[in-house]
C-alpha cells in the first residue's frame, strides 16, 4: 500500500501534464512456487495522470510474458493401426507463458500495427509466426496456440482491469498452477481512441522455493547423488512400512 500512497502523492503534484502518463507497480514482484502451489493471483497497481475521467475515456492493455522456451509441433498421421507423430516443426524462443488482460477486446483498442509491434494478444506473438512468409494461418501455428491455450499458458482476457479512485486502477493477473518458473515481463499500454498514449513495464520473478526447489535443484545439479538418495529413501520407506505391518 505504501507504494500506491506515494504514487498518489506524486501524481497529484504532477497535475498539468498535457498527455496522460501511466505508471505501474506490483504488490509483489516475486511469486513463490512451493509444494502446494496451486496458482497465484498477482495484483498490479497503476495510476494514470493528466487525464480527465480516465475510467470512461481510456483503455488499458496489460501483457504478461513468461520466460522463453523452444517447442516442437508434430502433426499426427495415421500409419496402419495407430496415429504416429510426424516430422516436427520447431518454434523457438516463444514465451512459455503469455496472458493479456484488457478493458475491451484488443482489436477494439489498438490499431493493427501496434498489435503486431507490441505483440498484443496471443495471435500476435512473433515467435509463433512459423512460415510467416507463406501463410499466416498455417495449421502448425494454430495448433501450437490451441495447445498452449488449452493448457492455460496462453490467454487473452477482457476484464480484470478496474479503476478504483479516479486515476488509480488495478489489474488482476492470474497465474495458473502450471506457471513456468523464470523471469516475467509485465507491460501495460494506455490507449485513447485507438492512439497509444503511454506505456510502462515491470518485472516479475516466479521462483521455486522450499523442499520442492531443493529436490529440483539436487535432481538437476547432482543427478547421481539424487538417484542414490532416491534409492536410499525408497529402501528406508519400504523397510519402515514392512516393520509397521509386521507388528500389527
Partner 1 sequence: MQIYLPIAEISVDPFVIVTLGAAVGFLSGMFGVGGGFLMTPLLIFYGVPPAVAVGTEASQIVASSVSGVLAHLRRKTVDLLMGGFLIAGGGVGAVIGIAIFRYFREIGQIELFISIAYVVFLGAIGALMLMESMRALLRDPGVKRSRRKHRSAEWMAAMPFAMRFRRSGLYISPIPPMVLGFIAGVLAAIMGVGGGFIMVPAMLYILNMPTNVVVGTSLFQIIFVTAIATVLHAAANQTVDILLALLLLSGGVIGAQLGAKVGRRLRGEQLRALLALIVLAVCARLFFGLALPPEALFVVDPAP
Geometric angle at alpha carbon 184, from 209 and 176, rounded to 5°: 65
**Dist CA 182 CA 79 (whole Å):** 39
Specify the residue, 51 or 91, whose C-beta has the smaller distance to partner 1: 91
Specify the residue, 164 or 230, whose C-beta has the smaller distance to partner 1: 230
Taking CB under 8 A as the rule, does residue 174 contact partner 1? no
Q: How far is the CB of 88 from partner 1 (least distance, A)?
A: 7
**Dist CA 99 CA 45 (whole Å):** 17
For 24, the 3-state DSSP assignment is strand
**Dist CA 33 CA 216 (whole Å):** 12
Separation of CA 136 from chain center:
24
Query: Interacting stretch for partner 1, rule CB under 8 A, among 52-60, 110-118, 192-200, 226-234?
Result: 226-234
Taking CB under 8 A as the rule, does residue 40 contact partner 1? no
Specify the residue, 33 or 125, whose C-beta has the smaller distance to partner 1: 33
Taking CB under 8 A as the rule, does residue 139 contact partner 1? yes
Question: Please, how many CA atoms are within 13 Å of residue 124, restricted to the half-sphere of its CB?
Answer: 19
Interaction site with partner 1 (CB under 8 A): 33-38, 69-76, 81-85, 88, 90, 96, 139-140, 143-144, 146-148, 177-178, 208, 211-213, 215-216, 219-220, 223-224, 226-231, 233-235, 237-239, 241-246
Amino acid at each position: 500500500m505504501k507504494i500506491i500512497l506515494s504514487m498518489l502523492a506524486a501524481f497529484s503534484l504532477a497535475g498539468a501534464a498535457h498527455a496522460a502518463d501511466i505508471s505501474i507497480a506490483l504488490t509483489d514482484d516475486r511469486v513463490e512456487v512451493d509444494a502446494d502451489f496451486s496458482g497465484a493471483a498477482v495484483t498490479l497497481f497503476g495510476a494514470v495522470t493528466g487525464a480527465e475521467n480516465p475510467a470512461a475515456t481510456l483503455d488499458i492493455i496489460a501483457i504478461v510474458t513468461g520466460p522463453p522456451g523452444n517447442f516442437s509441433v508434430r502433426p499426427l498421421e495415421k500409419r496402419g493401426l495407430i496415429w504416429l507423430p510426424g516430422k516436427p516443426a520447431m518454434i523457438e524462443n516463444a514465451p512459455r507463458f503469455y496472458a493479456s488482460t484488457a478493458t475491451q477486446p484488443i482489436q477494439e483498442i489498438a490499431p493493427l500495427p501496434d498489435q503486431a509491434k507490441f505483440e498484443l494478444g496471443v495471435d500476435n506473438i512473433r515467435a509463433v509466426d512459423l512460415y510467416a512468409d507463406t501463410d499466416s494461418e498455417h495449421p502448425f501455428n494454430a495448433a501450437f496456440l490451441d495447445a498452449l491455450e488449452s493448457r492455460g499458458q496462453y490467454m487473452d482476457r477482457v476484464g480484470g482491469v478496474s479503476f478504483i479512485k479516479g486515476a488509480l486502477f488495478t489489474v488482476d493477473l492470474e497465474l495458473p498452477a502450471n506457471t513456468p518458473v523464470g523471469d516475467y515481463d509485465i507491460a501495460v499500454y494506455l490507449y485513447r481512441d485507438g492512439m497509444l498514449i503511454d506505456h510502462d513495464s515491470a518485472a516479475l520473478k516466479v521462483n521455486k522455493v522450499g523442499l520442492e526447489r531443493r529436490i529440483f535443484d539436487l535432481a538437476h545439479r547432482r543427478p547421481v547423488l539424487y538417484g542414490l538418495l532416491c534409492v536410499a529413501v525408497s529402501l528406508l520407506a519400504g523397510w519402515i512400512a514392512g516393520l509397521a505391518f509386521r507388528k500389527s
